[in-house]
Structure 1
Amino acid sequence: MRRALGPLLVVLALASGMAGAGEAKTILIVAGTEKQIFLPAILAERLGYFRDEGLDVELQSEPSGVRAADVLLAGSAHGVIGSYDHTIDLQAKGKSVQSVVQLAIAPGEVELVASRAADRIRSPADFKGVALGVTGLGSSTSFLTQYLALTHGLRLADLNLVPVGAGAPFTQAMRQGRIDAGMTTEPTASLLLASGDAKVLVDLRTPEGTHKALGGLYPFSCLYMETRWIRKHPEQVQKLVNAFVRTLRFMAGHSAAEIAAQLPPEMLGGNPAIYVQSLAGSKAMFTADGLMPEAGPATVLRALQTVNFAVRNKPVDLRETYTTDFVRAAH
C-alpha cells in the first residue's frame, strides 16, 4: 500500500506546496489606515492592484508609527506603510530597513491649536509647558513637533508631549482639553477645523507649506521593509512596488472625488464632503512616480539630528535608507 500510495502522496505534497506558495500572505502594517497620508495602501487594495500582481496582502492598522516599526522588527509583518524618517532612526539604532517606494514628499500633517487656546499659542515658540498631542512617543509626529519647537528657540525639556493616537482619540483629547495643541493628519484636521474646535498653527499638508516650515521637501509616507528581507525576496518586493506605482499613477490621473469614490464609507470620517475637500487640498503631497526626491533625505536627516540623540551621535548613510531600483523597474 505504501508503494501504491507513494507517487500520489508526492503529487499531493507538491500541489499543496505550490498552492501554499501562491497563497502566502503578505502582511503590511499601516501606521493608521484612517490617515490620508497612507491612502495609497488602502487604494491599492480597493482597486485590486495587489491581486493583479498575484499577491495576497493583508493590511493591518497600528495607529502609532513607532509601534508599527516594532511589529516589523519583531518579525510579525513583512513591511510597514509608515514614515521614511523611521529608516534613519532605526539605522542609528543598528537596524537596517529601507524605503522601497516613496508615496509622499510632504508629511501631510498639520499642527493644530485648540480654539480655546489660540490666543496664547500663536506659534511653536509658545509650546513651553503646553500639552502637545502626538500619536506616540518616538513617532514621526513627536519628531516633527520637537523640531518645530527647537527651531523656535525652545528646549526639549520645555515640551510636554502627550501620546493620544490619531483619528477619533485625537479629536476627543482636543475637545476634552487633555491637549492644547497637537499634530494630526487628514481627514481629522479638517473635521476639527470645520467644527470650530481648532485652528491651524503649522501646515505641512503640501510641498509648499513643508518647504516653508522645514526648509525643504520632507519625504514621508512610504513602504519600508527590513533590508535583509528585501534581498531575500526581490520578486515579492517588486510585485508590491508595481502595485503601488500603479496606484500613484491612478491618483495622479483622477480627482479627489473620483479617488474617494473607491473607498469604503468608514474611511471618509463620517463626512464625505470634507474628506474630498481635504484630499483635494493636499493631493500634491503624493508622488506621481514613487521615486525619492533627490534632496529630501537630507532634510529629514537634518531634522532628526536636531531632536534625536541616537541620530545625532551616529553616522547615518542615507544611501542605505532607501532604494529606487524597484520603482525604476516598475516603470
Structure 2
Amino acid sequence: MSKKMWVALAAAAALSLSGCASTASQSGGTSSSGGSGTPVSIMVGGLNKQIYLPFMLAQRLGYYQQQGLNVTLQDEGAGVDATTNMVAGKVDGVGGFYDHTIAMQGLGQSMESVISMLTTPGEVELCRNDLKGKIKSPADWAGKNLGITDIGSSTDFLTQFLAQKNGVDPASIHRIGVQSGSTLIGAMQHGNVDCAMTTEPTVSTLLATGSAYILLDMRTASGTTQQLGGEYPATSLYMSTAYVNQHPDVVQKLVNAYVATLKWIQAHNGTQLADVMPADYYAGSGKAAYAKAFDNEKGIYNLTGIMPPSGPPTDLKVLQAFNPDVKGKTIDLTKTYTDKFVQASK
C-alpha cells in the first residue's frame, strides 16, 4: 500500500462516523434496495463494472429485500477509496478485490472477505493503437504512462507486479489514476496514458472505437495463471472483522443474497442480464456489446462463493513482490477470508 493510501486512511479515520444516506432509486452514485429491512451500506469500487456485477444485480433481482435487508450501494471509482471509507466507519462493507484484506492486515487492520465472487481479476491491459509494435509486453513499460484506477488500488498492485515480473523496475513506470469508463477512455484517446488496466464494459468500448489493442488478458483462468502464476480471487464482499463478529445475522443474509445472485448469473445469458440492469450501465458500449462482453467473460464468476483454496497464496505472492506494507511481513491468510457464511447459505 502506498504512502498516499496510508495518509488517506489516517485522514478518513478522523472524519465523523455519520451514516450513509439512503435513496429509493439510483441517483448520484447511490442506490438503495428500499423497504423497511435492516439497513446496510456497501461501497463498491465501480458499480457499473461487470467485475462488480453481483452487487447491483442482487438489488435489481430483489434479493436484498427477500432477505429482509435495505442495502444502500454507493459507487466509488477505486476500491482503495472504498476501503478508506469503511475504515472511517462511513460504510459497513466494501465490494472490491480480496487483495485489499491482505494489504490492510499488513497495516494492522483486520478485514475479511465473506464471499468470493470472482476467481480471476477480469482485468485487461489495453494500449493505444498507435503504439502497436512498440509495446509488445510489460517488458516495454519502462518510462511509460500506465493508467490504473488509483494509487493503492488493485490495478495498481497488479500493474507493479507485472512490471517487476517482466524485468521492469516499478519505480520506472508512471502510474496514473484514471478510474474507469469515460475518464479512462478520455485519458487513452487524448494520449495521457500509453496503456491502462480496465474491465468490461470499458474494454469493449475502446476496442469498438479502434482506440486500443489488448496487451494481456486476465479474463480467463489460463490468462490469469500465465500472468500471475495461479488463481487470483478478486471481487468479494469484505468487511471489518469487528463488524462480522458483531453482526453475523446481517452478514449471513447478505451472503445468502449473493449466493443466489451467483446462481442466477450461471443460469442466464448476456441479453437476459442487460434486460435487468440499468440502461446507463451499457450506455457507452451499447446494450448488445454489453451482453456480448458478459457472455465472453462469464467464466470469471465464482460458481459457489467459496474462496478458491489455491487463490489467496497467489494474491499474497503478488503483494509481497513489491508492496512495502506486505513485503517481509507475516500475513495470516486464514484471517483474511471466511467461508462459513457461504457454507451456511440456503
Q: TM-score, normalised by structure 2?
A: 0.88
The answer for the alignment partner of 1:199 in structure 2 is: 213
The answer for the alignment partner of 1:131 in structure 2 is: 145
The residue correspondences of 1:220-299 to structure 2 (distance < 5 A) are: 220-270=234-284, 271-299=286-314
Give 1:272's aligned amino acid: K
Counterpart check, 1:166 vs 2:191? no
Q: Which one of 101, 113, 116 corresponds to residue 99 of structure 1?
A: 113
The answer for the alignment partner of 1:36 in structure 2 is: 50
Distance in 1 (CA, whole Å) between partners of 2:233 and 2:158 is: 13
Shift of 1:24: 4.0
Distance in 1 (CA, whole Å) between partners of 2:253 and 2:36 is: 13
The answer for the alignment partner of 1:211 in structure 2 is: 225
Instruction: Give SS of 1:307's match.
Output: coil
Q: In angstroms, what is the RMSD of aligned CA positions?
A: 1.1
Once the two structures are superposed, residues 121-173 of structure 1 have per-residue CA deviations (whole angstroms, 9 ceiling, x without a partner) of 11000000100000000100011011111000011221110111111100000
The answer for the alignment partner of 1:15 in structure 2 is: none
Q: Aligned residues, how many?
A: 311
Q: Which one of 127, 146, 169 corresponds to residue 160 of structure 2?
A: 146
Once the two structures are superposed, residues 44-63 of structure 1 have per-residue CA deviations (whole angstroms, 9 ceiling, x without a partner) of 00000000000000000001
Q: Answer with 1 or 2: which has the greater Rg.
A: 1
Q: Which one of 298, 303, 318 corresponds to residue 333 of structure 2?
A: 318
Shift of 1:23: 4.0
Instruction: Give SS of 1:289's match.
Output: coil
Instruction: Give SS of 2:326's match.
Output: helix
Distance in 2 (CA, whole Å) between partners of 1:253 and 1:166 is: 28
Once the two structures are superposed, residues 40-83 of structure 1 have per-residue CA deviations (whole angstroms, 9 ceiling, x without a partner) of 00100000000000000000000111001000100000000000
The answer for the alignment partner of 1:182 in structure 2 is: 196
Distance in 1 (CA, whole Å) between partners of 2:39 and 2:247 is: 14
Q: Is the 8 A contact 1:37 1:185 kept in 2?
A: yes
Instruction: Give SS of 1:199's match.
Output: strand
The answer for the alignment partner of 2:30 in structure 1 is: none
Shift of 1:313: 2.3
Once the two structures are superposed, residues 17-42 of structure 1 have per-residue CA deviations (whole angstroms, 9 ceiling, x without a partner) of xxxx9544210001001110000001
Give 2:334's aligned amino acid: R
Counterpart check, 1:60 vs 2:78? no
Q: Is the 8 A contact 2:270 2:295 kept in 1?
A: yes
Give 2:287's aligned amino acid: P
Q: Is the 8 A contact 1:99 1:224 kept in 2?
A: yes
Q: Is the 8 A contact 2:138 2:163 kept in 1?
A: yes
Unpaired runs of at least 5, structure 1: 1-20
Q: TM-score, normalised by structure 1?
A: 0.92
Deviates more, 1:83-92 or 1:206-215: 206-215
Q: Is the 8 A contact 1:188 1:269 kept in 2?
A: no
Distance in 2 (CA, whole Å) between partners of 1:275 and 1:197 is: 18
Give 1:119's aligned amino acid: G
Deviates more, 1:33-42 or 1:262-271: 262-271
Instruction: Give SS of 2:302's match.
Output: coil
Q: Is the 8 A contact 1:187 1:269 kept in 2?
A: no
Could you list the runs of 4 or more consecutive aligned residues of structure 1 that deviate by over 3 angstroms after TM superposition? 21-24
Counterpart check, 1:309 vs 2:324? yes
Change (3 A) 1:146 1:259: same
Give 1:209's aligned amino acid: G
Counterpart check, 1:327 vs 2:327? no
The answer for the alignment partner of 1:17 in structure 2 is: none
Instruction: Give SS of 1:208's match.
Output: helix
The residue correspondences of 1:43-122 to structure 2 (distance < 5 A) are: 43-122=57-136
The answer for the alignment partner of 1:13 in structure 2 is: none
Give 2:141's aligned amino acid: F
Distance in 2 (CA, whole Å) between partners of 1:269 and 1:116 is: 26
The answer for the alignment partner of 1:9 in structure 2 is: none
Deviates more, 1:318-327 or 1:118-127: 118-127
Distance in 2 (CA, whole Å) between partners of 1:125 and 1:174 is: 20
Unpaired runs of at least 5, structure 2: 1-34
Instruction: Give SS of 2:57's match.
Output: helix
Distance in 1 (CA, whole Å) between partners of 2:132 and 2:320 is: 30
